[in-house]
Amino acid sequence: MKIIPHSTRINVYLTFKGNCKEAMCFYQQCLGGELTLQAVKNSPMADQWPAEVQENILHASLLKKDLVLLGSDMGSTQGLIQGNTISLALECSSKEEIDSFFYKLAEGGKITHPLHTFFDGTIGALTDRYGINWVLKL
């Protein structure tokens, strides 16, 4: 099931160290819902990643009515440390909205992945001036 944004919303995005599939299956057992897992090797971006991460989960989503839990094994290039394993995933409703929100949130912070087009739309990531990680998607 693909999330089709009808309005702007924020979801939780969890980052794991290679055990995203295990964790998301656990959350599905606990919470119910429809779980979708996409491994790196099954994505249009597979050739952009080294062999050792091909089995990792690029994107996971657990959906049940208004409950949306997102996850991935593909974390920060600095590695995972307590505090950077959770991001706020902001689904935007228009190009104007993602541009506005992204650059406003980045003021005084750090853009970790500039806004760019990828196989599933537009995406970018940043850490705001308060140390909160954001992933914005259109």
Query: Is 121 part of any domain?
Result: yes
Query: Is 1 part of any domain?
Result: no
Domain of 48, in residue numbers: 9-137
Query: Is 3 part of any domain?
Result: no
Domains: count for the chain: 1
Q: Is 88 exposed, middle or buried (0-12, 13-18, 19+ CB in 10 A)?
A: middle
Q: What is the number of other CB atoms lying within 10 angstroms of the CB of residue 105?
A: 20
Query: Is 62 part of any domain?
Result: yes
Query: Is 73 part of any domain?
Result: yes
Q: Report how far residue 8's alpha carbon sits from residue 47's, in angstroms, rounded to the nearest whole number.
A: 32
Q: What is the DSSP string of 22-65?
A: HHHHHHHHHH-SEEEEEEGGGSTTGGGS-GGGTTSEEEEEEEET
**Which of 54, 49, 26, 27 minimizes the C-alpha distance to 38?**
54
Tell me what pLDDT residue 138 has.
Answer: 92
Task: Report pLDDT digits (tens) over 21-67.
Answer: 998 898 899 778 999 999 999 998 899 889 998 999 999 999 988 88
Long-range pairs for 34-37 at CB < 8 Å and ≥24 separation?
A: 34/1, 34/62, 34/63, 34/64, 35/60, 35/61, 35/62, 36/1, 36/60, 36/61, 36/63
Buried b (16+ CB within 10 A) or exposed e, 112-124: beebeeeeeebbb
Tell me what pLDDT residue 93 has.
Answer: 86
Q: Report how far residue 107's alpha carbon sits from residue 127's, in angstroms, rounded to the nearest whole number.
A: 10
Tell me what pLDDT residue 69 has.
Answer: 87
For residue 77, is pLDDT > 90? no
CATH number at residue 22: 3.10.180.10
For residue 68, is pLDDT > 80? yes
Tell me what pLDDT residue 18 has.
Answer: 87
Query: Is 4 part of any domain?
Result: no
Query: Is 45 part of any domain?
Result: yes
Query: Is 2 part of any domain?
Result: no
Tell me what pLDDT residue 31 has.
Answer: 77
Task: Report pLDDT digits (tens) over 96-138.
Answer: 989 999 999 998 999 999 999 987 789 999 988 867 788 999 9
